[in-house]
Amino acid sequence: MKIKKVCVLVSSLIAAGFLSAPAVAAANGPLAGYTIHVAAPHVMNGEIMGPYHHYCKAINADIIQCILFESTQPNARMTEVEYMVSKRLARTSLPKWSHTQNWHDHQEEIDTGRVAIINPTDPKEQEALAKYVGNTDGIIFHLWPEGAPIPDGSVHIPQSVGNWEARHGKIVSKGSSSHHESSHDHGANHDHDHGANHDHDHGANHQESSSSGSSSNNYYATKK
């Protein structure tokens, strides 16, 4: 009975508009300013996933924080969060083992040419953003496992493609007999992917998640 009453209450709040996001509240609250939009794939358990849509803003001179979605659809699942921290701060505030195991170099990621800058759209602003982000390291927390109906409490720490390939060798297509060309067995190198025992994190359908607007993406690699 109590559950039924709660459901009725929630339905009433939705109908009244209380559970929608008022424009005024969004404009004045912490969700304001997430105007940077980039898309990039991640690696979990030796497999390329995504690309994921990052909506980001700088909260101070050293830290950019991002909310990540699996697509650009209005009801897309928020699957990850990422913190981008200046290399100066990240590399002096953490134990070396933690930084090496969990973080990735964004310049290394940008140089793979896999990062799509969707907003801003001006080429000069995109170049400035890439330069700014290239001076940061990132850490990603994957919160909603692939195939799970709801988050199950497991937290994975994916890596960028560039970081993974620098350590383990180039990742090859899924149709290949091996996930990557290195002699490493990716099943033995999961310590920076956290939670490798969750097989439901493997999934191919993320490759289609950026279909909305993907034709206009600027896949950015720093000009040599």
What separation, in Å, do the N-terminal and C-terminal C-alpha atoms of the chain show?
A: 66
Phi-psi region of 45 (alpha: psi -120 to 50; beta: other; left: phi over 0): left
Is residue 178 scored above 90 in pLDDT?
A: no
Phi then psi dihedrals of residue 196, to 5 deg: -65, -15
Query: Mind listing the pLDDT tens digit for each residue in 9-19?
Result: 434 433 444 44
The model's pTM is 0.71
Give dist(CA 23, CA 191) in Å, integer.
Answer: 42
Q: What is the pLDDT of residues 69-102, one digit of tens each?
A: 999 999 999 999 999 999 999 999 999 999 999 9
Omega prior to 120 cis, within 30 of 0: yes
- Whether the CB-CB separation of 155 and 141 falls below 8 Å is answered with yes
Contact in structure between 91 and 106 (CB atoms under 8 Å): no
What are the boundaries of each domain within the chain? 32-220
- Residue 36 near residue 129 (C-beta atoms within 8 A): yes
Q: What is the pLDDT of residues 126-162, one digit of tens each?
A: 999 999 999 999 999 999 998 899 999 999 999 998 8
Lowest mean pLDDT: which of 43-47, 52-56, 115-119, 140-144?
43-47
Greater pLDDT, 2 or 201? 2
Confidence bin at 41 (pLDDT 50/70/90) = very high
CB 47 within 8 A of CB 164: no
Which helix (H) or strand (E) element contains residue 76? none
Lay out the sheet containing 136-142: strands in order across: 104-105, 136-142, 78-86, 63-69, 47-58, 36-44, 115-119, 218-220
